[in-house]
Amino acid sequence: MELDGKNAIVTGGSLGIGAIIAFKLAENGANVAINYRKHDKEAKDVAKKIEKLGRKALVVKADVTSYTDAEKMFSKVIDTFGRLDILVCNAGVTRDRVIWKMNEKDWDQVIAVNLKGYFIYNKFAAQCFKDQKYGKIVNITSINGLRGKFGQTNYSASKGGEIALTKALAKELGKFNVNVNAVAPGMVMTEMAKSIPPEFIKKAIDETVLGRLATPEDIANVVCFLCSEKARHITGEIIQVDGGQYI
């Protein structure tokens, strides 16, 4: 398997896209540490599925905006697995409304989780990967970080920041044999998306050229590729997985 013997952290790994990424990494041979904030049962369920594949799983409750929590998580992962090879930053939140109705808390929460959280985890991974001269970082961003989205100035700004962080960090870590890339999904048909009004789903589908929305597996498959040696000469790239929704 492509990722045999590799050890990964997935933030926001208890639900949705993150849960599928964690499982797919394990399917490809990796041991996986699942970061989550509040969904205890769901995180443990993902871990059980990983262990059924014969891989090691570690569940760590940690707030991605906390430097201290991150430090403890990285230490626990390395103590348990022996080393770390892969970081997938996926944890994120939305607080959607037009900017004239957006309050400071709406802005601060989204920037804290979606941008500061990525900075913290990328920083700890960079320190680890730089020293061992190997590592793969994949940041899950969004096409809305590339194009902007009505009612999402906070989210679009945070996702645009993730893109800039990815490109800058790729330059900093390249000489240490570390690949840093991002995956930018369009709308993905998660359980959460199923609660979105049908007219908004239809609008998103109509924006695509393939006439369908992505599944979480579509995103996870690209992440696994970027974490493999097949992608060893790809870094600083933003891979859109959106069925042509952006174009």
List residues with catalytic annotation. 155
Closest to 222 (Cα-Cα) out of 245, 204, 207, 240 = 240
Neighbours of 178 (CB within 10 A): 22
Of 237, 236, 239, the C-alpha closest to 169 is 236
Packed helices 216-226 and 16-27: angle between N→C axes, nearest 10 degrees: 50
SS3 136: strand
17, 219 contact by CB (below 8 A): yes
